[in-house]
Structure 1
Amino acid sequence: MAAPSPFNAQQAEAGRTPTLAVLLGIFMVTITPFVAGLVQGQTADWLRNLLYAFATAVLLYNVWRGSVWAWRLTVGFCMVAGLVVFVIGMLAGSVAWQGWVVSGAGLAYLLLGTALVGTAVIRAFLDARWAARGRQLRGRA
């Protein structure tokens, strides 16, 4: 038997907008290099980058729908990518100022991933989605 959720329905409803903002933030940080490359006329890897953007959108959509596994993958990817991008940006920052911008993107990943885990209203919203999705999946079986 599952333990009852520590979050109430009011908190869950209040978490709708912050959850959407965090998921859109993750998507924007992910596609920014692709869009910047397109603006600069770099179209060599556009198909691969478009595939990455689509895969990211599908993953984040599944988080929104209430998939626990998609949430876990998203948080894991945010933490790993955030650390790697931050370190690469720090190394590049010793040579050019653009490295500091890359480090900022790494920090953005870390902060957004942490928000998915540590913000009470976001967790309440996702917990409500997880419960609803669990009921829906059990109803199909």
Structure 2
Amino acid sequence: MSASSPFDPRLAEAGRTPTLAVLVGIFMVTITPFVAGLVQGQTADWVRNLLYAVATAVLLYNVWRGSVWAWRLTIGFCMVAGLVIFVVGMLAGSVAWQGWIVSGAGLIYLLLGTALVGTAVIRSFLDSRWTDRRKTLRRKS
């Protein structure tokens, strides 16, 4: 991990809002089926879904705090979930129009996950968080 980031550290402060927007977007896409089910009165699996929502919030909060492992997990989950959801939506879209909405959710996951990696201001902000966190952990030990 000694390789320096190719991103400009001067962009770090400009990346605060886009990073927060992407993390909130990932959370919103993740909990939308749970909330939609609750609105429709489907409360059978509400405990499990609530645990998923809390686990997602904790993971994304750790990304915000500057945890590299949480960032890597989030990217992996976004890519895998996005691809699976997109394919399932495409298959369902051949039978009912609602499948295209599901495919759209898969694309949103893919786009948000890619934004965490490929957007210069977001990456610079996260790099500054990682550096600050690394310094804090070194002082504690």
TM tier, shorter chain? over 0.9
The CA deviation string for residues 71-114 of structure 1, in whole angstroms up to 9 with x for no partner, is 00000000000000000000000111110000000000000000
The CA deviation string for residues 32-82 of structure 1, in whole angstroms up to 9 with x for no partner, is 000000000000000000000000000000000000000000000000000
3-state SS of paired residue (2:41): coil
Q: Which residue of 2 aligns with 1:95?
A: 95
After TM superposition, which residue ranges in structure 1, 4 or more long, deviate above 6 angstroms?
none
Q: Which residue of 2 aligns with 1:68?
A: 68
Instruction: Provide TM-score, normalisation by structure 1.
Output: 0.96
Q: Which residue of 1 aligns with 2:26?
A: 26
- Structure 1: where are the runs of 5+ without partners? none
Structure 1 CA distance, aligned partners of 2:30 and 2:63? 16
3-state SS of paired residue (1:15): helix
Aligned residues: 141
Instruction: Provide TM-score, normalisation by structure 2.
Output: 0.96
One-letter code of the match for 2:113?
G
Structure 1 CA distance, aligned partners of 2:97 and 2:54? 30
| Change in 2 beyond 3 A, CA 1:89/1:123 | same
Structure 2 CA distance, aligned partners of 1:32 and 1:95? 22
How far does residue 7 in structure 1 lie from its aligned partner after superposition? 3.6
Question: Which residues in structure 2 correspond to 1:1-141 (within 5 Å)?
Answer: 2-141=2-141
Structure 1 CA distance, aligned partners of 2:139 and 2:6? 24
- Structure 2: where are the runs of 5+ without partners? none
Q: Percent identity?
A: 83
